[in-house]
Structure 1
Amino acid sequence: MLSVSLQEGYREQVIEMDSLFTQNVADEPDDIPHTQEPVWILGKRYNAIKELDAIRRDIKSKLWFTYRKGFVPIGGSSSNFTSDKGWGCMLRCGQMVLGQALVCLHLGRDWLWTMETRDNTYLKILNRFEDRRAAPFSIHQIALTGASEGKEVGQWFGPNTIAQVLKKLVVYDDWSSVTIHVALDNTIVVNDIMRQCKIEGGTTVEVDGRTPLKAPSEWKPLLLIIPLRLGLSEINPVYINGLKTSFQIAQSLGVIGGKPNLALYFIGCVGDEVIFLDPHTTQRSGSVDHKTVEGEVDIDATYHCGSASRIPITGIDPSVALCFFCATEKDFKSLCRSIQEELIDPEKQPLFELCSEKPADWSPVDDCATEAVGTATNVVLGFESLDRQYDTSDEDFELLG
């Protein structure tokens, strides 16, 4: 259970919304700077001066999961958790990453949302994240899965914890058709991923422009999550260029992370700033269902942010998780080349390593035990005492810098 002082401190930072959704209207939002520098949004390059409307439409099309209130209690009728306000920000960031992966797979990376969107595939994706126990990736499922691994409902997750929980949950949703690999110890082991994704007689999803189709395939679409610590209390400057470059890779699905006291979903960068979606808005829980009545249309609008925000990249908390999505084996091989050529070769101190097989000195601990939520291997003493509003003591990877 959260302490009163933490709850009260966090409450001051959260925007309370008693109506369904209120768009802040300004003459010109300060979301994207008027600059000649390229704007990168999940691997896509834009010109801020010539393509400002396109940038904003792209950002608004991303699924935006925020705090909600008024949902069925998590854990049963005796529970008081009818809202995740004050503790669920990292869980919502995890939902945003997985939601974007499903959009890329089922609708395509160039898919755009409008208020008139009633595509059945889109609604099927969104329904999977609604605030109800039966939804595969609801706040209920994520929180309760975390509780089964030692993170009680109401406790903050770190980037690695949310990655591990989502990895467990996707196994039970055949329609979503993705597999999650969490790269531990700052190392991507290529052949481990190939063995995980190449399934004889398996099925994946193809897109015909309207509806998903099941088709024989040897590749399970991959959401790759790489938890990293890039410093102790702040990011070591040696990693900043690599972090910015990661948003430029075609398979980028952004970065789960935050700044001190706030978990955020970083979806791009411009200059020395990162662009993010912020889950710290409390909205009323509700269902989009088939989006046939006015109330459902209104709820749908609450899953799309009117404008993104920016902070200097130096302001990011050093505990992060880089995310990439590879719908096909070709995508994964292309990602490996990009990582080697853009993130490893040019850097004196790369963000992580890429190897074909596990190094000879790899820990002999069973992989399943190693990946269990809450297992710490290289935690620096005193790190847990830093004043953060999401947990950073559960990361199963080496502290860098």
Structure 2
Amino acid sequence: MNSVSPTAVQYGSPEASRRTLGHKNPSSRNDQTKMGSEGASRDGEADEVDKIKSKLLTAWNNVKYGWTVKMKTHFSSTMPLYLLGELYNFRFDDDIERFQKDFVSRIWMTYRKDFPALEGTLLTTDCGWGCMIRSGQMLLAQGLLVHLLSRDWFWPNALYTHLVDMEPIRSSSPSNTLNYPVPSSTKYPQERSRSVWHTLPHQRIVQYPHQEQIHRDILRWLSDHPASPFGLHHMVSLGGSMGKKAGDWYGPSIVAHIMRKALDRASQVPELSVYVSQDCTVYRGDVEQLLGEDPPSDGSVVGRAVIVLVPVRLGGEAFNPVYKHCVKEFLRMQSCLGIIGGKPKHSLYFIGYQDNNLLYLDPHYCQPYIDTSKDEFPLEVNVDEQESVCALVIFDSE
């Protein structure tokens, strides 16, 4: 997918239209006023052209990517599946149900349209250029869910949400993204993860009112509104100090630093920080320093935590197969928050794998803007499951 930059728009003003070289006279002033009116007319035409281009791009984008939303995903019933550190074996019916609950509970961020215009522009959509920012938002959303609600939380309405049909069968996908043999010892681990899910699989159906409020707060913080601390408007604004503007394509390293700045400035979660590694190196002392800062004084039971972002390049023009095993090992970690990246100018949010196929959330489907300022706004999203980088992300807490 090619990056799309907005057409430059010249903003005319009465003062600017009256500027001349040399002396002024009534006739020249009238001529300038006429020229200013013509300039404003041209600007208005350019604005309309931009709006038409935006609508056409959104329509084409949804034709290009919309079919994946309704596609049927095939899973193997003989191979384990890992989703952000959680193990699922589709030999067991309860594992299939637990996986559906888990997957639907992830927050899916996509292109949006018709939101308030980004500052200094007429753009009301990020279609065509905002996929890396959306991937970063999904990653950050997962960190907020783990920090404020725990990895064992799930959305109670997950069982009643329309999920694309899944047909557990033997692996037959044409996409063999991770062509790396799974050792026989890992096919059916003898012990499952000792989380609340596995010991009390039905207990998670109950959600307390404060949990629902936290869930809604997280969605509000990520909404496409200038006041949202982790919304697109604020992310783009922070990118300005790094030479980026609305309409540019953002790389994973830039987005990692934008997320760090956003969390540093967010008063909503003062106990959560982001650490971005330099040259693929994580310095333990720096992370421990972030964890060792004074806890919040408001009596909150939530301790300090750090999201560790590691921007890396796993190959040259294409993914280097030597890293396949490392990617799998990373996605099996309990502290894993996922991987953002993909092909140049085409970002995805990778959250798991089965056999040699990656599981990811695709941000490229464009959906209408949702006003989260209302008390009751829709929580349901049409999730996109696909079989198939980058920034590796780890969640570390006290």
Indicate yes or no: 2:279 matched with 1:185.
yes
Indicate yes or no: 2:321 matched with 1:274.
no
Matches of 2:57 and 2:263 in 1, distance apart? 30
Aligned length: 295
Deviation at 1:242, TM superposition (A): 0.5
1:70/1:46 CA distance change after superposition, 3 Å = same
Deviation at 1:301, TM superposition (A): 1.3
Deviation at 1:259, TM superposition (A): 3.1
Identify the structure with the greater strand proportion: 1
Counterpart residue type for residue 68 of structure 1: R
Q: After the TM superposition, which segments of 4 or more aligned residues of structure 1 sit over 4 Å from their partners?
A: 6-13, 21-26
Look up the match of 2:232: 139
Matches of 1:55 and 1:306 in 2, distance apart? 13
| 1:143-179, Cα deviation, whole Å (9 max, x unpaired) | 1111222012110111111000010010111322310
Matches of 1:94 and 1:129 in 2, distance apart? 11
Q: 1:227 touches 1:321 (CA, 8 Å); kept in 2?
A: yes
Please say which structure displays the higher CA radius of gyration. 2
Matches of 2:327 and 2:297 in 1, distance apart? 31
Look up the match of 2:300: 214
Indicate yes or no: 2:75 matched with 1:33.
yes
Q: 1:204 touches 1:221 (CA, 8 Å); kept in 2?
A: no
Matches of 1:239 and 1:142 in 2, distance apart? 30
Q: 2:58 touches 2:366 (CA, 8 Å); kept in 1?
A: no
1:25/1:192 CA distance change after superposition, 3 Å = closer
| 1:330-381, Cα deviation, whole Å (9 max, x unpaired) | xxxxxxxxxxxxxxxxxxxxxxxxxxxxxxxxxxxxxxxxxxxxxxxxxxxx
Matched residue SS, 2:228: coil
Indicate yes or no: 2:386 matched with 1:309.
yes
Q: 2:362 touches 2:384 (CA, 8 Å); kept in 1?
A: no
Identify the structure with the greater helix proportion: 2
1:148/1:125 CA distance change after superposition, 3 Å = same
Matches of 1:54 and 1:12 in 2, distance apart? 35
TM-score normalised to structure 1 length: 0.67
Matches within 5 A, 1:44-63: 44-50=86-92, 51-63=95-107
Matches of 2:306 and 2:258 in 1, distance apart? 16
Look up the match of 2:260: 167
Q: Which segments of 5 or more consecutive residues in structure 2 lack a partner in the other structure?
A: 8-52, 161-206
Q: Which segments of 5 or more consecutive residues in structure 1 lack a partner in the other structure?
A: 206-212, 312-316, 330-401
Matches of 1:100 and 1:190 in 2, distance apart? 23
| 1:302-346, Cα deviation, whole Å (9 max, x unpaired) | 3xx4342121xxxxx4xx1101112x23xxxxxxxxxxxxxxxxx
* RMSD (CA atoms): 2.9
Matches of 2:131 and 2:284 in 1, distance apart? 31
Look up the match of 1:108: 150
Indicate yes or no: 2:395 matched with 1:325.
yes
Matches of 1:171 and 1:14 in 2, distance apart? 34
- Percent sequence identity is 28
Match for 1:14 among 50, 58, 61? 61
Match for 2:5 among 2, 5, 8? 2
Matches of 2:70 and 2:321 in 1, distance apart? 36
Matches of 2:360 and 2:297 in 1, distance apart? 30
Q: 1:204 touches 1:216 (CA, 8 Å); kept in 2?
A: no
Look up the match of 1:75: 119
Deviation at 1:287, TM superposition (A): 2.2
Q: 2:222 touches 2:231 (CA, 8 Å); kept in 1?
A: yes
Deviation at 1:238, TM superposition (A): 1.2
Q: 1:16 touches 1:283 (CA, 8 Å); kept in 2?
A: no
1:148/1:260 CA distance change after superposition, 3 Å = closer
